[in-house]
Amino acid sequence: MNQPSPYKNTGGLRHIARALVYSLQGLGAAWRHEYAFRQEVALAIILIPLGLWLGHTALERLLLVGCLVLVLIVELLNSAIEALADAISTDHHPLLGRAKDIGSAAVLLALLLAAATWLTVLGADALFTQRTLP
């Protein structure tokens, strides 16, 4: 019979507080060590308020902001994969290289989804908003 991991917590408020601390440590580590994450955060700092302003409905705002948050989430997962791969070995290994490449591809797809979302939401707005000349 499998024994539960001694590192797993059983739950409760203490567990929630620890999880929050670990999450904040993870964000801090990503900020300190991952240039791409800092770039994407800088972009999100500019685009999130813009998305909230440009979106006309709650759904449009959610789409514009949510896809940016998704990019940050995928970048965090990619950074975790890269850190784990580097902890295993910094020597070239085809499987570690594949894992890093797949993580990078996931970030690319998230960025393309964000761009398509913004173009669709804002493009649809431009197409369907009637403008009259003064």
Active site residues: 75
Integer angstrom CA distances of residue 99 from 54, 94, 95: 37, 9, 6
**Angstrom distances, CA of residue 27 to CA of 23, 32, 63, 96, 113:** 6, 9, 23, 23, 23
